[in-house]
């Protein structure tokens, strides 16, 4: 991944140098070849570099390390290591039910059209609040929208553990209610323990990688 | 030094915006933090967009000034 960044940065610097030459010596663009060079350098290359860079930044913005690099998110990162399988984020992170290097994004994106872009815009809002507003205490942070079952069902729909689960099938109305988002997966009595920051100080933690 | 020709001047200004935008994007790619993501999108992206629009406008205007009268 470091090589990819180096390559993209090299291409960007190359484009910037070519553009700088055209700015300093505009006479180059008087000839047909110069006009073609100017078009490539000032239109094609910047768009190509911009898209490559944006894709790289978006990829990086999905990583767990990126989300947890904000001080406000520290406690949420710690909650991934709680040694209790009933803690949904901890169970998913520690058992690799989600890619551990993209743990936050995997559960908090929206598996819908432009969902990834929408959650990144929410992320920009977080950063704006962090730098220009008053960020709430970690335990007071709320989701912008109620958690949608669609995000859980993206992976669990069709899985034997979900479809044939005893509790899910105890009442014939339960499974359709879950699938239609009428009954939340994280509702009381079900998979309700998400990031339980209030009890974090008393929790036992998994020693990662040992 | 900016040219005296208005079209060339506009193209140079477009080039400056693009070059500065690209340098900002390169720096942001080397600095992996959330604020770098914001700078990449907000500052780098805006400068690139402005540069591209100015360059394309200058191309359109060049086409117009090159056109010969019909009569």
Q: Is the same domain home to A9 and A104?
A: no
Which of A26, A54, A124 is the closest to B11 by Cβ? A26
Taking 90 as the threshold, does the pLDDT of residue B15 lie above it?
yes
* Residue A15 belongs to some domain of the structure: yes
Asked if pLDDT for residue A54 goes beyond 80, the answer is yes
Whether the model clears a pTM of 0.90, i.e. scores above it, the answer is no
Q: Is B34 on the interface with A (CB under 8 A)?
A: yes
In chain B, what are the domain boundaries? 12-62
Question: Do A43 and A142 sit in the same domain of this protein?
Answer: no
What is the C-alpha to C-alpha distance for residues A169 and A176, in angstroms, rounded to an integer? 10
- pLDDT surpassing 80 at residue A5: yes
Mean pLDDT of chain B: 85
Average pLDDT over residues B11-25: 95
> Distance between CA atoms of A4 and A44, rounded to whole angstroms?
20
- Arithmetic mean of pLDDT, A180-201: 89
Is pLDDT above 90 for A147? yes
Work out the angle between the directed axes of helices A32-39 and A2-24 (0-180°, nearest 10). 140
- Which of A9, A19, A66 is the closest to B18 by Cβ? A19
In a domain, A122, yes or no: yes
Across residues A60-78, what is the average pLDDT? 91
Q: Give me the mean pLDDT over the B13-39 stretch.
A: 92
> What is the per-residue pLDDT for A55?
93
Cβ-in-10-Å burial (0-12, 13-18, 19+) of B18 comes to buried
Does the pLDDT value for residue B69 go beyond 70?
A: no
Is the pLDDT higher at B64 or at B58?
B58
Q: CB–CB of B28/A57 below 8 Å?
A: yes
Percent of chain A with pLDDT over 70: 98
pLDDT: which is higher, A200 or B65: A200
List residues bridging with A205 in a β-sheet.
A82
Residue A38 lies in a domain: yes
Say if residues B22 and A47 touch (Cβ distance below 8 Å). Answer: no
Q: How far is A126 from chain B (nearest CA, A)?
A: 10
Is B17 touching A (CB cutoff 8 A)? no
Task: Return the closest-CA partner of residue B39 out of B24, B23, B18, B17.
Answer: B24
Residue A53 lies in domain: 2-61
Q: Looking at residue A124, what is its pLDDT?
A: 85
CA distance A96 to A155: 12
Number of domains in chain A: 2
Are A193 and A110 members of one domain?
yes
Average pLDDT, rounded, for chain A: 91
Residues A81 and A116 in one domain: yes
d(CA A86, CA A99): 19
In a shared domain, residues A36 and A78: no
A112 in the same domain as A25: no
- Which of A61, A83, A98 is the C-terminal boundary of a domain? A61
Cβ contacts of B18 within 8 Å, gap of 6 or more:
A16, A19, A42, A46, B47, B48, B51, B52, B55
pLDDT band at B49 (very low <50, low <70, confident <90, very high): very high
| Angle (CA) A92 A94 A96, round 5° | 60
Task: Report d(CA A68, CA A101) in Å as an integer.
Answer: 11
Model ipTM value: 0.84
Residues of B in contact with A54 (CB under 8 A): 40-41, 45
Q: How many CB atoms lie within 10 A of CB A4?
A: 13
Locate A153 and state its tokens.
């069902």
Percent of chain A, pLDDT > 90?
Answer: 62
Domain identity same for A31 and A133: no
Do the Cβ atoms of A19 and B21 come within 8 Å? no
A121-134 confidence digits (pLDDT tens): 888 888 888 888 88
Name the one residue in this structure whose structure tokens are 């509702």. Answer: A187
């Amino acid at each position: 991944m470091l090589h990819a960044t180096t390559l993209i940065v090299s291409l960007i610097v190359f484009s910037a140098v070519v553009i700088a030459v055209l700015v300093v010596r505009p006479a180059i663009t008087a000839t047909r070849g110069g006009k073609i060079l100017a078009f490539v350098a000032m239109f094609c290359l910047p768009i190509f570099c911009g898209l490559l860079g944006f894709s790289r930044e978006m990829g990086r913005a999905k990583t767990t390390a990126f989300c947890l690099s904000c001080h406000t998110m520290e406690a949420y990162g710690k909650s991934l290591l709680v040694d209790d399988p009933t803690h949904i984020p901890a169970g998913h992170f520690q058992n690799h039910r989600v890619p551990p290097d993209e743990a936050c994004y995997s559960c908090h994106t929206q598996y819908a059209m432009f969902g990834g872009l929408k959650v990144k815009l929410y992320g920009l809002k977080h950063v704006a609040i962090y730098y220009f507003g008053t960020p709430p205490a970690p335990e007071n942070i709320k989701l912008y929208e109620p958690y949608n079952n669609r995000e859980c069902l993206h992976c669990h729909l069709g899985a034997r553990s979900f479809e044939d689960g005893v509790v899910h099938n105890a009442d014939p109305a339960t499974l359709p209610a879950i699938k239609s988002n009428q009954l939340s997966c994280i509702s009381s009595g079900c998979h309700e323990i998400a990031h339980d920051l209030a009890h974090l100080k008393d929790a036992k933690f998994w020693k990662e990688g040992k | 030094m900016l040219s005296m020709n208005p079209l060339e001047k506009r193209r140079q200004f477009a080039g400056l915006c693009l070059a500065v935008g690209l340098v900002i994007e390169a720096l942001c790619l080397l600095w992996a933090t959330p604020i770098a993501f914001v700078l990449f999108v907000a500052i780098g992206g805006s400068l690139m967009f402005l540069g591209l629009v100015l360059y394309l406008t200058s191309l359109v205007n060049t086409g117009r000034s090159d056109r010969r009268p019909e009569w």
